[in-house]
Amino acid sequence: MTDPLDLDEFRRNGHALIDWIAEYLGGLEDRPVIEPVAPGEVRAKLPAKPPMTGEPFSAMLADLDDVVVPGLTHWQHPHWFSFFPAMSSPPAILGELAAAGLGVQGMLWSTSPAATEIESHVLDWLVDLMGVPQSWKTTGPGGGVLQMSASDSTHTALVVAREVCRQRTGAPAESMVAYTSSQAHSSVEKGGNVAGYGHVRLLEVDDHFAVAPATLRDAIADDLAVGLTPAFVCAAVGTTGTTAVDPVRAIGEIAREHHLWLHIDAAYAGSAMICEEFRDHQDGLELADSYTFNAHKWLATNFDCSIFWVADRRPLIDTLSIVPPYLRNAASDAGEVIDYRDWHVPLGRRFRALKLWWVLRSFGVEGLQAMIRRHIAAAQRLDAWLRTDDRFEVIAPTPFGLVSFLHVDGDEATDALVARLNDAGFAINGSVANGRHFIRVSIGSTWTEDRHVDALRSAIDRLG
Ligand SMILES: *Cc1c(COP(=O)(O)O)cnc(C)c1O
């Protein structure tokens, strides 16, 4: 019989699991990045009923090999060039484990002071590290909080903006308008719907897939003319499709003029801002009301770890704070502490800051900067090579780690190349921009080295 609460067994099983993870990560290169698996195949391996008595941990480890791994798409594979990276790293994995081991809930400062204070402190570190406005520190009027996802951050921004607009204008949400680009992530439109905006406008983009300020200006004028209430605009620093960068400063100036809340979605590209040379892409941040980026995409930190900053925390807290008697306590009543439950929708919260703190300490700032620079340099080398080959057209600039290109023979040739690259053992996805099919090569997986990108380049050359 096994005893799931026996701490000596836990110790042994834990060591075995860490060994297993190290084997898994170290062996990924020898596996297909996308396991061939048919719908229902994984489930068919599972027993119809749960066991009546406890099983040994060894049985679960064996099923990781037999049931789980053959049914995965390996996001940590060095040949992962699909979507965006969802980085994980040994220090982040250990941080996750430590957080689970501590098992605390940090919804209030008083329910685990260290969880709140480390989170505030690490996000204040990031303010300096990324060169975003000093006022966003928790020691200033703003502050940062970890959310599960950039979608949550953006949805929260939309809700706060709605309340700010309501207080200023008295307008009902149904008459409010949220603006973003047609290239924006679907979370902006979804959040507009969730928050009850009457209208979400997806603005047309220019040749570089960015919103032109005049387009926003015209849309606001049209809406004002028919009695609607412009309330919110989201500018993307790095769209999901092609990593296009909206002009933050120009959009911010229009937002100021019309009292719109300016939210910045830098979910993917935000991590690059730890390197000073990429910060021009977000010039004008002092005009922003909120900002989100995912350390869980490109900053070596396991999902979930999305940073959400606000320039002024008062409207956020005013919108989300409801204090039932069972959550009252002296520290909160005295207003001396941050209670992160008032900074997002859920009450309970994981100790997410631990893994981010460990990542920053393990890599060091320079280690993380070197990683980002290596990815971007690899992407720019691939971009430059594609531009020398007249079979291919690079359809968007490559400011970060994503290369967007197509086959000049048309959509069918482009789709066929995606299929051949996937068959050749690379995870790549296609997309569509301005009605044309294109290929996204996203470089930034933790274990991807230059040789893996070179292998991809040879495959493109051979199969293109
Ligand atoms: C990935 C992405 C998102 C969504 O991030 P989640 O954390 O999965 O919600 C939003 N915006 C952009 C630009 C993205 O690339």
- The rounded Å distance from CA 185 to ligand 1 centre is 6
Say how far apart CA 211 and CA 235 lie, in whole Å.
8
Residue having the nearest C-alpha atom to atom 8 of ligand 1? 149
Backbone φ, ψ for residue 393 (5° rounding): -130, 125
SS3 state of residue 6:
coil
Q: Put the strands of the sheet holding 429-433 in their side by side order.
A: 392-394, 402-407, 436-442, 429-433
Closest-CA residue to 236 (of 287, 309, 278, 182): 182
Domain 366-463 belongs in CATH node 3.30.70.580: no
* Run of H or E residues at 406: strand 402-407
For residue 380, give Cα distances in angstroms to 16, 360, 404, 411. Answer: 41, 26, 11, 24
- The rounded Å distance from CA 41 to ligand 1 centre is 30
Q: Are 199 and 228 in contact (CB under 8 A)?
A: yes
Q: Are 231 and 162 in contact (CB under 8 A)?
A: yes
- The rounded Å distance from CA 192 to ligand 1 centre is 15
- Indicate which atom in ligand 1 lies nearest the CA of residue 185: 11
Say how far apart CA 404 and CA 362 lie, in whole Å.
32
**229 Cβ closer than 6 Å to some ligand 1 atom:** no
Residue having the nearest C-alpha atom to atom 15 of ligand 1? 240
**156 Cβ closer than 6 Å to some ligand 1 atom:** no
Say how far apart CA 331 and CA 398 lie, in whole Å.
49
Q: Where are the strands (E) in 149-207, listed by range?
A: 176-181, 199-203
Domains 7-74 and 98-357 share a fold: no
**185 Cβ closer than 6 Å to some ligand 1 atom:** yes
Q: Are 126 and 144 in contact (CB under 8 A)?
A: yes
For residue 329, give Cα distances in angstroms to 145, 152, 314, 324, 348. Answer: 21, 27, 20, 11, 16
**268 Cβ closer than 6 Å to some ligand 1 atom:** yes
**294 Cβ closer than 6 Å to some ligand 1 atom:** yes
- Indicate which atom in ligand 1 lies nearest the CA of residue 149: 7
Say how far apart CA 327 and CA 300 lie, in whole Å.
35
User: Which class does domain 7-74 fall in?
Assistant: mainly alpha
- The rounded Å distance from CA 89 to ligand 1 centre is 20
Burial class (CB in 10 A: 0-12, 13-18, 19+), 54: exposed
State the fold for domain 98-357: Aspartate Aminotransferase; domain 2 (3.40.640)
Closest-CA residue to 425 (of 389, 380, 462): 462
Instruction: Return the structure tokens found at 186.
Output: 């679907």
For residue 64, give Cα distances in angstroms to 44, 71, 302, 398. Answer: 15, 10, 19, 38
pLDDT of residue 1: 63
Burial class (CB in 10 A: 0-12, 13-18, 19+), 328: exposed
Residues 6 or more apart from 156 whose CB is under 8 A from it? 147, 290, 308, 316, 320, 343, 344, 345
Residue having the nearest C-alpha atom to atom 12 of ligand 1? 267
- The rounded Å distance from CA 294 to ligand 1 centre is 7
Give the start-to-end residue ranges of the domains of the chain.
Answer: 7-74, 98-357, 366-463
**151 Cβ closer than 6 Å to some ligand 1 atom:** yes
Pairing state of beta strands 392-394 and 402-407?
antiparallel
**307 Cβ closer than 6 Å to some ligand 1 atom:** no
pTM over 0.75: yes
List the chain pLDDT tens, one digit each, 464 residues.
689 999 999 999 999 999 999 999 999 999 999 999 999 999 999 999 999 999 999 999 999 999 999 999 999 999 999 999 999 999 999 999 999 999 999 999 999 999 999 999 999 999 999 999 999 999 999 999 999 999 999 999 999 999 999 999 999 999 999 999 999 999 999 999 999 999 999 999 999 999 999 999 999 999 999 999 999 999 999 999 999 999 999 999 999 999 999 999 999 999 999 999 999 999 999 999 999 999 999 999 999 999 999 999 999 999 998 888 887 888 887 778 999 999 999 999 999 999 999 999 999 999 999 999 999 999 999 999 999 999 999 999 999 999 999 999 999 999 999 999 999 999 999 999 989 999 999 999 999 999 999 999 999 999 99
SS3 state of residue 448:
coil
Q: Are 237 and 271 in contact (CB under 8 A)?
A: no
**240 Cβ closer than 6 Å to some ligand 1 atom:** yes
**236 Cβ closer than 6 Å to some ligand 1 atom:** yes
Closest-CA residue to 201 (of 161, 169, 229): 229
- The rounded Å distance from CA 315 to ligand 1 centre is 24
Say how far apart CA 155 and CA 171 lie, in whole Å.
20
SS3 state of residue 240:
coil
- The rounded Å distance from CA 186 to ligand 1 centre is 8
